[in-house]
Structure 1
Amino acid sequence: MEQLFLLSDNFMIKLPSTLSSENGAITIVYAIIFPALLAMVALALDGALMINRKARLADASSEAILAISAVDNRLVDSVAIDNNKQIAKDFVNYYLPNNQAEQLKVVVTSFDRTIEKGYIDYKIAISATLPTLLPLGHLGFSAFDRSVTVGNFDNNSGNARKFVTVISDPADYVFVVDFSDSMNSSYIDQGRVTTRLAMLKQVVREVISGNKNPDSQFAIVPFDIGVPFRIKDSVNTTSSYANKENEGGGELVGCSALYVPKPQYAPDKIDYNFWANKNISQKQYPLFNNSKNSIFYNLDRGRYFYYRFIVGKALNEDMGDLEDRGWCTLNSSAAAPMGLYTHSCEAQSAESIFTPANKLKIEEQYDNVTALLDTMRAAPTEERSSIANSLTIDYASTLKYDNLFGTEAIQEFIQPWAPNMYEYRAFTGMCQSATPLRTVSPRLSQSQAEEQMAATFTSARAQAFLIPLTTSSEEKTRLISDFAGMSAGGGTDSTIGLLRSVPVVAAGTNPKKVIIVISDGEDEIDPAIVADQFHSRGMCDVIKAGLKDEGLFASGKTGVVANTVEIHYVSINDNNNESRMAFWGKYCARGDDTTDQKQYTHTATNYSSLIETLVSIIGVETGFYIQDSQNGVDFPVTESEENVPLS
């Protein structure tokens, strides 16, 4: 009995430690949760893998259908069908290498609208059965089975539209393109964030590249408030800036406008290029005779600022260095009453404000210049920021054949590579797309703006510029490349762009002329007034008639007597679109006369609609991606579709 009690006591003593022991506990827990963990891992790994494979299959189908549309065999027979399937197989094997697919199904279908629309739609449906990494589904786990079938049926891939050349006649095409700042606006097109300008560049590249007629010529006329140009394309052959560079070896950037000024603002009364880089305080000193020395002091100060803070900083030189170059002269008696700033600067001595000829020019023209600037620097609500504004233009004279179709009425000047300030630029509002736009604001000081412009001075190059009609395939390729590198900025003046395009298209030698105005919105306030005046006076009818005029051809104003002239207006923004379309349709973008009811107004707010619009105007042979909703092909993917062997 005593032994029994001893055993009982020992048992009771050891019981707590036995019950509290953890040996083997984790094994039990792990055995319970392991299948669930394994299923979760399998589902995560294979799920991610399938998403990746589905995306790669979508890429393969998009690339394959574009290649198939380029071949364009129209599925005419079994050989054509087999060739298309082989193309698809090659792309799938590239995007899903190492024979990942156990089974592949391909069907290619076409929808031919070449007769009525000039294009054919192709669609490809691909499904692939692919192995999984952890095939646990067949064991009862919540995971994928041994293989999974993925396809491109719900992601807008595998669609392409092939445009076929339906317009065979060669033509001169001039794109008059809105380069205002709003063209930088972002929007989403086919799921991608882009800008209107980027979309336009892509479409123009594809349309011009797709035009197969070697005799067709293309030109670009970009506009904001003015039309920028490169010096090599200047029409003013006697200008002081011909074949010149800036002081650092960078390009000079030109700005132009075609119009006839009223007599007070005529080129013989205002040398626009001379005054473009001058610091003019027209409010403080409106009349030359009242403030002669102060005016010269102010002009001298502006040139000093340019050389010290732009040229000097760009070349890493101080005023002493610029004196050694002979570009600047120290003034010992500098003062406003003397008409001299601390230094007088000008690299080209003939351009100095102190030469006898230029002193006389300043004396004779200053009052006209201040009157011009009064029209431009009015209340902000009037926005007359162009030399060609509603108060300066002689409308009737501008529309005369000799002025409209020649180069004599093209006003040109060099826009300084400097901050967008009156101290540096007399005509600040013009051709802002052509240079980096650095305007002093609470976020950008004057010194910062000067430093930023100086940093790019030696490599200065126009960011947007007119490109005359191409004359070869090499020039066409260069046009596409140059256009792709352009930037937008500034306001909108469609009339200044259209007028400037006239001598450009007139120089071409094809009897068919096509001007295509592309814009994303309304003109600014004063340019809209100018547009009303020119359009209501029959500007577009004058352009069309002049291009067909034998007398202008005989005088050398045009390169050929045109037999067909079209002016199209393409809106890439549907805001206030109805009124703009009505305006252009009434006055300009229509048939040759009032009896011709044909309309050349178009709305194209995304990539696919814009390329379709331009293709309908120009006629090209090219292919591009479209969405399911745009494709005329509609078919189910069924088990009856033929499998494509993997090898």
Structure 2
Amino acid sequence: MLTRTVKQILTRCRDQRGTIMISFAVLLPILMVLIALGVNSVKMFIAKAKLTDVVAEVGLIVSAHSSVNNKGQYPPELKNLVTRYVKNFFPEASKMPEVVVDFSQVATDKTSNAEYMTYHPSIKVELPFPFYHATLSEGAKNFTISATPLTVKKQVSRPVDVVFVMDFSTSQQGSRMRILKEVFRELTDYILASNPESKIGMIPFSSGVAVKYPETNQRGGPKAGCSVLFVPKKDWAIDYAFWGDKFVDKKYTKLTDQSYYIDEYRRKYYLNRVGQSRPALTVDALNKQWCRKNDVWGTKVGQTQYSCFDPRFKILDLDGSRVAKDDIYTKRAQRTIEQQYAMAFKVRERQRSTYTIEHDDAIDYEATLNQMFGEQAIITFPMLWDDRDNYRYRVYNQMCHNVGWWGKFGDLTGARLYSWLIELTNNANELHQFQNMEPQGWTATTSGLVRSVPVMMKGTNPRKIFVIMSDGEDSKAPGIVTDRYLKKYNLCEKIRSGILERSKDHTERVDIYYVSTTNSDKRVNYWKDFCTGEGNAAKAVNRQAIVSLIKGYLSDEIGNFSQ
């Protein structure tokens, strides 16, 4: 019984194994096809996922190597770069990948003062199947994957015009000036790095703004000047550029006396300053180069034996002839002396007590506010290289001490200005000359601010920013002027609205900021209430605080590169 049962079981097993083996033989090809399809599918899925990452990286590469300003140019070298980059990820590719990048038009985000462009990279890659059979791929040995076009947005700051109106009074000497130099260098580098088309100007003010003439002085060194912007009232309307280096005294009332003593002091200046600068000139050499010998001389005829002047620059005289601009014996010069001598003496004497020619009695505020957007109201006069307070040669001797003077150098050849105005520029080397500047003089903040307006008007960028930096109160008479400008005449709003109305370059926004470099809440509140408005005036007393504060002010306008 047992033997029969075992035989029956063995027989059944032999019959079932045979069936299984037959079934397995039938299903094996199908299983192999399914496995091959699965491997191919996994290969395609992995390649697709990898390509999605690669296309994002290609977008970043293209945006990093492209400029918003180049209007979407896709140079061949950049195309070759990204094609090779993709090939590195797919070395088994049967041919070079196809990389296409579409560029959008440049758009503007006025809120953040930025321009942006979008990049749409798409890629196709042909790869071999891991398992190939004609029945599996309808005869194709390779498959193609493509990435859905990805949008990469590159945003860059639009260029801005920034003018720093800097207090260069004596109180800024020492550690404060060292801090300002560090601050200015860091901020200028920051602004230009954000957008190299941005422009920066620097207005160093004391009582007036120190400037450097384009021409040299008589011995080849720099020629120093002082510059202000105001329209004088009638009683103060003289030719300041003419009188800036002319000796005047109230005791001389006749034209011959006036001319003679102007001529005499000019002769002394040439002998003692021009002639003695290195290398020293003999009197004969000086006379030959810079002076004219007169046939007659004396107080009765109104001239000295030798009349000295700079013959290098010519103007038209009243009769239309071309004459030396600096000669006091032209018809134009003699008329100026005759008509303005007494007024010129009054101007000189008043500035000795007010420390400025821009005092409250002299300024026609309404006319100045209308004309400050151009250069017609700019007054620039020479500051001769001589002792700082020698009013015989430096007639407006309280003005612009921050140009420097004879005492430090004792030489016209190697003279160096302490400071000077820098027009709007993106030349970092020119801006870094700030590191060689030194402060000196009184404080007249609105003198610097008003003088900065025509500098800003030369800018062509859509945003314009004034940054006023000072360490304290204005001097007495200049403080009265500042009060008048800010409280009565609403100077800052006139600047903002006037630039927007008059600018030829479609200015969109004008901001004025005030930074007190001392802990003066009073000064900050004064400028906040009467100029900048809430949030645009603050105090900062150390380098990092000043940098952080001004960067915070500029962040909306400057921005950063982003993608």
Q: What is the TM-score when the length of structure 1 is the normalising length?
A: 0.57
Q: What's the Cα RMSD here?
A: 2.3
Contact 2:157–2:559 at 8 Å: present in 1 too?
A: no
The match for 1:298 is 261
SS in 1 for 2:386: coil
Q: How does 1:316-327 map to 2 (within 5 A)?
A: 316-325=280-289, 327=291
Aligned partners of 1:569, 1:331: CA distance in 2, in Å? Answer: 60
CA positional deviation for 1:182? 1.0
1:585 aligns with 2:549: no
Query: Could you tell me which of 161, 167, 172 is aligned with 1:178?
Result: 167
Query: Could you tell me which of 468, 474, 479 is aligned with 1:523?
Result: 474
The match for 2:131 is none
1:202 aligns with 2:165: no
The match for 1:406 is 374
CA positional deviation for 1:505? 1.7
Aligned partners of 2:366, 2:186: CA distance in 1, in Å? Answer: 39
Contact 2:513–2:537 at 8 Å: present in 1 too?
A: yes
CA positional deviation for 1:218? 1.1
The match for 2:16 is none
Query: Could you tell me which of 211, 219, 240 is aligned with 1:229?
Result: 211
The match for 2:449 is 498
SS in 1 for 2:284: helix
Query: Could you tell me which of 293, 309, 322 is aligned with 1:329?
Result: 293
CA positional deviation for 1:319? 2.2
1:547 aligns with 2:470: no
Q: Per the alignment, do residues 220 and 170 of structure 1 end up closer, same or farther by CA in structure 2, a change over 3 Å counting?
A: same
CA positional deviation for 1:559? 4.0
Unmatched runs of 5 consecutive residues or more in structure 2? 1-154, 312-323
Q: How does 1:227-626 map to 2 (within 5 A)?
A: 227-232=209-214, 244-266=215-237, 270-282=238-250, 284-285=251-252, 290-314=253-277, 315-325=279-289, 327-329=291-293, 333-334=297-298, 336-341=299-304, 343-348=306-311, 349-378=324-353, 384-400=354-370, 403-420=371-388, 421-436=390-405, 449=407, 453-455=409-411, 457-470=412-425, 472=426, 475=427, 477-536=428-487, 537-549=489-501, 552=502, 558-574=503-519, 577-590=520-533, 598-619=534-555
Aligned partners of 2:292, 2:409: CA distance in 1, in Å? Answer: 20
1:216 aligns with 2:171: no
Q: Per the alignment, do residues 208 and 424 of structure 1 end up closer, same or farther by CA in structure 2, a change over 3 Å counting?
A: same
Contact 2:352–2:396 at 8 Å: present in 1 too?
A: no
Per-residue CA deviation, residues 426-474 of structure 1 (Å, 9 max, x unaligned), is 11111211123x5xxxxxxxxxx4xx6542x11334331111112x4xx
Aligned partners of 2:499, 2:289: CA distance in 1, in Å? Answer: 51
CA positional deviation for 1:291? 3.4
Count of residue pairs brought into register by the alignment = 387
Contact 1:313–1:454 at 8 Å: present in 2 too?
A: no
CA positional deviation for 1:247? 1.1
Aligned partners of 1:167, 1:605: CA distance in 2, in Å? Answer: 31
SS in 2 for 1:220: strand
Contact 1:174–1:516 at 8 Å: present in 2 too?
A: yes
CA positional deviation for 1:393? 0.2
Q: Per the alignment, do residues 331 and 322 of structure 1 end up closer, same or farther by CA in structure 2, a change over 3 Å counting?
A: farther
CA positional deviation for 1:333? 4.6
SS in 1 for 2:402: coil
Aligned partners of 1:418, 1:523: CA distance in 2, in Å? Answer: 26
Per-residue CA deviation, residues 279-298 of structure 1 (Å, 9 max, x unaligned), is 1123x33xxxx333332232
The match for 1:16 is none
Contact 1:220–1:466 at 8 Å: present in 2 too?
A: yes
Q: Per the alignment, do residues 621 and 459 of structure 1 end up closer, same or farther by CA in structure 2, a change over 3 Å counting?
A: farther
CA positional deviation for 1:398? 1.0
Aligned partners of 2:437, 2:473: CA distance in 1, in Å? Answer: 22
CA positional deviation for 1:570? 0.5
Q: Per the alignment, do residues 377 and 308 of structure 1 end up closer, same or farther by CA in structure 2, a change over 3 Å counting?
A: same
CA positional deviation for 1:173? 0.9
Q: What is the TM-score when the length of structure 2 is the normalising length?
A: 0.65
The match for 2:135 is none
The match for 1:23 is none
Which structure has the bigger radius of gyration? 2
CA positional deviation for 1:330? 6.7
Aligned partners of 1:209, 1:357: CA distance in 2, in Å? Answer: 48
Contact 1:547–1:561 at 8 Å: present in 2 too?
A: no
Aligned partners of 1:324, 1:562: CA distance in 2, in Å? Answer: 54
Aligned partners of 1:522, 1:535: CA distance in 2, in Å? Answer: 14
Aligned partners of 1:326, 1:613: CA distance in 2, in Å? Answer: 52
Contact 1:331–1:341 at 8 Å: present in 2 too?
A: no
Letter in 1 for 2:423: P
Aligned partners of 1:281, 1:453: CA distance in 2, in Å? Answer: 29
SS in 2 for 1:182: helix
Per-residue CA deviation, residues 579-637 of structure 1 (Å, 9 max, x unaligned), is 211210111011xxxxxxx3211111111211111211223799xxxxxxxxxxxxxxx
